[in-house]
A and B are shown apart, each in its own frame.
Chain A
Amino acid sequence: EAQVTQNPRYLITVTGKKLTVTCSQNMNHEYMSWYRQDPGLGLRQIYYSMNVEVTDKGDVPEGYKVSRKEKRNFPLILESPSPNQTSLYFCASHASNLNTEAFFGQGTRLTVV
């Protein structure tokens, strides 16, 4: 089954404690992205990756890092989380054909206290 898998689904952490949210896709997609979803703001792109070792900032990259060492994995790293990073996070992937849908993971609900 084609899918995007994120872990963990839920996470509560304290300010300043580094964390990583993992994302893996099994569709051999070139493009992967991270979004955050906040009430009234919809989905906003944090970072994206066009292929292995190629990443770029989205609309709201501050406070986040990503890496793309393998095609299937695209982890999101928060080096020093802050309460304003409390949000619902989604990983997405799609093929290099530009007219294709993006497949989304189930989401990670992060709370930073």
Chain B
Amino acid sequence: GESVGLHLPTLSVQEGDNSIINCAYSNSASDYFIWYKQESGKGPQFIIDIRSNMDKRQGQRVTVLLNKTVKHLSLQIAATQPGDSAVYFCAERRWVSARQLTFGSGTQLTVLP
């Protein structure tokens, strides 16, 4: 079956630096992507989303980039803070079965003081 999310399992960054978390997907028909943040002991929380007709979308301190040519998605976090330490998941929603989210295995981001 098709899958989402070839992640590096862990990423460590210095506080104040920018973080880049990557995700690859294989379903070229996917039209909508979401990044979630999961802190220890909590459920996933929405960070930012992007539709396939866009290449870039910015939020507060976060930017998502979508490269459909190579089926690659990235999440950039500016000026990473200790509170950003968490597991980050990319998720894909396919139009045909749009009520289903397909998640990657996640990347653990650790912010070093």
Number of interface residues of A (CB under 8 A): 25
Residues of B within 8 A of A50 (CB): 99
A101 touches B49 (CB 8 A): yes
Residues of B within 8 A of A103 (CB): 46
Contact of A106 among B34, B42, B95 (CB under 8 A): B42
Number of interface residues of B (CB under 8 A): 25
Residues of A within 8 A of B91 (CB): 43
B49 touches A99 (CB 8 A): yes
B51 at the interface (CB under 8 A from A): yes
State which residues 14-65 of A face B: CB under 8 Å. 31, 33, 35, 40-45, 48, 50, 58-59
Residues of B within 8 A of A (CB): 5, 32, 34, 36, 41-46, 49, 51, 89, 91, 93, 95, 98-106
**9 A-B pairs in the complex with CB atoms less than 8 angstroms apart:** A45-B102, A50-B99, A58-B100, A98-B95, A99-B49, A99-B51, A102-B101, A104-B36, A106-B41
